Chain A
Amino acid sequence: MLRRYVIRRIIGLLPVMLAVASIVFFLIHAIPGDPVDLILGERALVADRAQLSQRLHLDEPVAVQYGRFMAGLVRGDLGSSITDARPVASLIAERYGATLLLAVCAMFVAVGIAIPAGVFAAARRGSFWDQAAMLAALTGISVPNFWLGPVLILIFSVHLGWLPIEGRDSISSIILPAITLGAALAAMLSRMTRSSMIDEISKDYVVTARAKGVSERGVIYRHALRNALNPVITIVGLQVGTLLAGAIITEKIFNWPGVGMLLLDSISRRDYPVVQGCILVISFAYVIVNALTDCLYRVADPRVKL
């Protein structure tokens, strides 16, 4: 059943990916700016500019370039970087691990904080601790990561000297970027977990469980939490995709060598093939993560029919 669903989803993904690839191609080519200008500079000879345009196929009609791009994509060839002639696929592959790692660790931070905090707040609804947890969540949502990152560096790296400022030199290097990226998500998830838990706790089956003498811990963790997790999983799934796409600022602050940084640099250099490749990979990851999220519903709640 699950296998058939997965196969059906994969087949369904193909037209989506085709549409995404087409949109990415035409959007990139609609943006003003000539890569030849940026590569050769203003002092280049007109003949050299024409020669480079020809070599990069930029002198061809957009339709022809599109055909070339799609044919390459079908073969798994994302082309080569305009600036350093390296295959786009290998440029992305070098950095994708770092982006994925950051996204996953940020998600751990978010889930690790949010679910216990949300459950704790819901179980003590209206108490001082509930209000404190929700105030912390509001703060987490409100603080932008371009501010949070440097502040965390100042405290934990400069003043306390516990963690490295940036880079990817040791296990501890991931801590600050993951917290920076995961903080807002933790805040959002904790609010969602709390409200979802409050809904579940007020349902009849919970009252029944309590009446039958199930311990409060059992009521919360064995009964209510399991049912409260479905909406949380939906958000987590969507947010993994967002984290994969939206880690650019965090990657810049912490010099994290991920796809976001590659994308940012490539946009400023008008390196069309790399920009296309990065956006495609990010989009595809988003689509795939959503499909995986649907699978996880079943893991969390066996009653869900796929």
Chain B
Amino acid sequence: MRETQATLTGSCAFSVGGVHTIWLISAILALVCILSVSTSCRQAVAAKGDINIAVAAGPITLDPRLATDAESDKISSLICDGLLGRDDDGGLTPMLADRFERISDTSYRFFLRDGLLFHDGTPLTAEDVVYTFSSIMDGSISSPFRSSFTRVAAIEAESPTVVRLDLKEPFAPFLSYLTRGIVSKKAALAAGASFGTHPVCAGPYKLVRFSPDNVVELEANAAYYGEKPRNARLLFDVIKDDNVRALKLIKGDVDLVQNGIPALIIDGITKSGEIRMKNGDGSVMSYMGMNLTDPILSNKKVRQAIAYAIDRDEIISHRFKGMASKANSILSPANWAYDGELPQYPFDPAKAMQLMDEAGFKDPDGPGPLPRFRLTYKTSTVKERVEIARMIAHQLEKVGISVRVAPYEWATFYRDVRKGNFQIYTLSWVGVSDPDIFHEVCGSSQFPPNGLNRDRYKNAEVDALVEQGRTTMDEGERKKIYSRVQQIVFDDLPYVPLWYEKNVVLYRKGLEGVRVRPDASYRVFMDVGKK
């Protein structure tokens, strides 16, 4: 395009006036344009047998030690295996470590598989494991996961295939942190900050091309220790517009889209029979957060009234076209610690009004225009979020709560939620695997910036239980503890659980092996192939 700019600048020097000169300039520019396009192809066309997957956003980094956004985390999980992994039910499963032993409540020994190789052909040893976790812990790479490893007292390579980990105190959720991918020490030190775009790990795929705004291309790792991927390559095509993603699927330019097509248009897309759909329960829980320091919302009866006033069935039916199920806990029913005895808050406007009367917020003019009280409902500017907020606001207004929906650009909204500058808002909890999430979300020591207790919830019994849950190593005992936590939180209602969105995969009919996991992990793409 430098040529184009030169031509434009040069146009000033034309001294012969007239329309013909303008057309001449136009013709030259047109030629430059054509040459520019023809020399700048991104060459993302998938070969036969490769799987082309449309995603809404590109990953920011593929370094598993830094990946926080969903795409970075999911795509890097195909490139980098951890000591442990997760199976389809969310349970821990062996990966690079084929077994481990618990020496004591605070010490573990991990045994690496024999003959592990990184993508560059160098052997993966215990030194690489030690380096990966040490680089997270020592702050040298500003890893957002450093807080997960503050309990590690020591980590050492006892032999090339044995790693010992000692904790400062018993910490039951710790094993779940060991699913983070292991990186090549040699490659990471050599690449420095650019490791995120040139990761060298030992996962089922290796990176071929990384253009975060365009395409990420992975190639099956022939030296992978586990079951080999069914396809030769995965191409993640970054398509930011919902409609265009759907159109590319219809045309056959992409083979598969997971959770990337609005529920409202799914029926229209699948009608022809060319596009198939699979869906399954998801673990992402949407909720309405409430500021418990607010004079109105600090009243439990008001919070419960809000829960009774929201008609979730209507929203699930109309907004999600049935692709969601009602939630009653942060944990999804697929989680091992989920309490199956938990009830739901049914849609009951009469009960909602009764509770608000009891709380002292009587309707000043009955069915008249005056509200019981007014609330501001903050949300992001994402279209779907705003639409849902308006539906909920409308439902709350029917029981006498005046709601002003206030959409904010994401960073502003997020900052306000963290600072407690809100009354009510809606967000989702993503990637919840261990019930220790209750410590972060409900522990009174976890008000931001120290943790995730955005709603400023305090309950001494919950505080004690979540601490107990962290140091109890027996899974059965932990389940009992977290059942009690879920019951208390359900009653106290610092936030209203709304729904678990289903994971929905739309794919071309020639594909086989398509399935969905509750955590929407991309590991399932390893089994996808073409007939």
Contact = CB atoms under 8 A, between A and B. Distances in A.
Contacts of B33: 101, 104-105, 108, 174
A101 B4 contact: yes
B29 A45 contact: no
Interface string A212-233: 0000000001000110010000
A43 B144 contact: yes
Residue among B19, B139, B253, B411 with most chain A CB within 10 A? B411
Interface in A24-53: 31-34, 37-49, 51-52
A43 B452 contact: yes
A158 B251 contact: yes
Contacts of B251: 157-158, 161, 165
B13 A169 contact: no
B317 interface: no
A141 interface: no
Interface in A110-155: 111, 149-150, 153-154
A257 B240 CA distance: 11
Contacts of B26: 108, 111
Contact of B142 (A31, A48, A96, A97): A48
Given A153-B247, A157-B247, A169-B43, A101 B411 contact: no
B239 A2 contact: no
B418 interface: yes
A296 interface: yes
Given A42-B451, A300-B17, A97 B244 contact: no
Given A98-B40, A225-B19, A104 B11 contact: no
A37 B449 CA distance: 9
B237 to A, nearest CB: 8
B293 interface: no
A84 B37 contact: no
Given A43-B147, A46-B450, A255 B37 contact: no
Given A108-B30, A157-B247, A32 B146 contact: no
B248 A33 contact: no
Contact of B42 (A157, A169, A300): A169
B56 to A, nearest CB: 11
A277 B44 CA distance: 28
Contacts of A150: 241, 243-244, 247
Contacts of B451: 42-43
B342 interface: no
**Max chain B CB contacts within 10 Å: which of A42, A43, A157?**
A42
Contacts, number: 192
B139 A51 contact: yes
Contacts of B15: 2
A173 B214 CA distance: 14
Contacts of B264: none
Contact of A2 (B13, B197, B238): B13
Nearest to A261: B213
Given A49-B449, A169-B45, A302 B247 contact: no
A295 B8 CA distance: 10
A34 B411 CA distance: 7
Contact of A299 (B21, B248, B450): B21
A189 to B, nearest CB: 14
Given A100-B5, A299-B22, A165 B214 contact: no
Which label, helix, strand, loop or mixed, suits the secondary structure of the B interface?
helix
A37 B416 CA distance: 12
B34 interface: yes
B60 A97 contact: no
A39 B61 CA distance: 11
B247 A168 contact: no
B17 A301 contact: yes
B139 A292 contact: no
Contacts of A267: 409
Interface string A199-221: 00000000000000000000001
A269 B440 CA distance: 24
Given A37-B418, A41-B68, A254 B60 contact: no
B244 A33 contact: no
Contact of A45 (B147, B193, B414): B147
A60 interface: no
B357 to A, nearest CB: 37
A226 B32 CA distance: 26
B146 A31 contact: no
Contacts of B412: 31-33
Interface in B344-371: none
Contacts of B42: 167-169, 257
A96 B146 contact: no
A292 B410 CA distance: 38
Contact of B12 (A42, A49, A295): A295
Contacts of A52: 142
A100 B4 contact: yes
Contacts of B409: 33, 267-268
Nearest to B32: A104
Given A2-B13, A97-B1, A84 B61 contact: yes
B214 A257 contact: yes
Interface in A282-306: 292, 295-296, 298-302
Given A96-B1, A101-B36, A292 B418 contact: no
Contacts of B43: 169
Interface of B: 1, 4-5, 8-9, 11-15, 17-19, 21-22, 26, 29-30, 32-34, 36-38, 40-45, 60-61, 68, 139, 142, 144-148, 150, 193, 196-197, 213-214, 238-241, 243-244, 247-248, 250-251, 253, 409-412, 414-416, 418, 440, 448-452
16 contacts: A32-B411, A33-B415, A34-B411, A44-B144, A46-B450, A104-B32, A166-B239, A170-B37, A171-B38, A226-B18, A226-B19, A252-B240, A253-B241, A253-B243, A257-B213, A292-B9
Given A104-B32, A150-B243, 14 more contacts: A32-B411, A33-B410, A39-B142, A46-B449, A84-B196, A84-B197, A105-B33, A153-B247, A154-B247, A165-B244, A168-B37, A168-B42, A253-B244, A261-B240
For the complex of A and B, 10 pairs with smallest distance between CB atoms: A33-B411, A97-B1, A295-B12, A302-B17, A40-B144, A150-B243, A32-B412, A41-B144, A41-B68, A85-B193
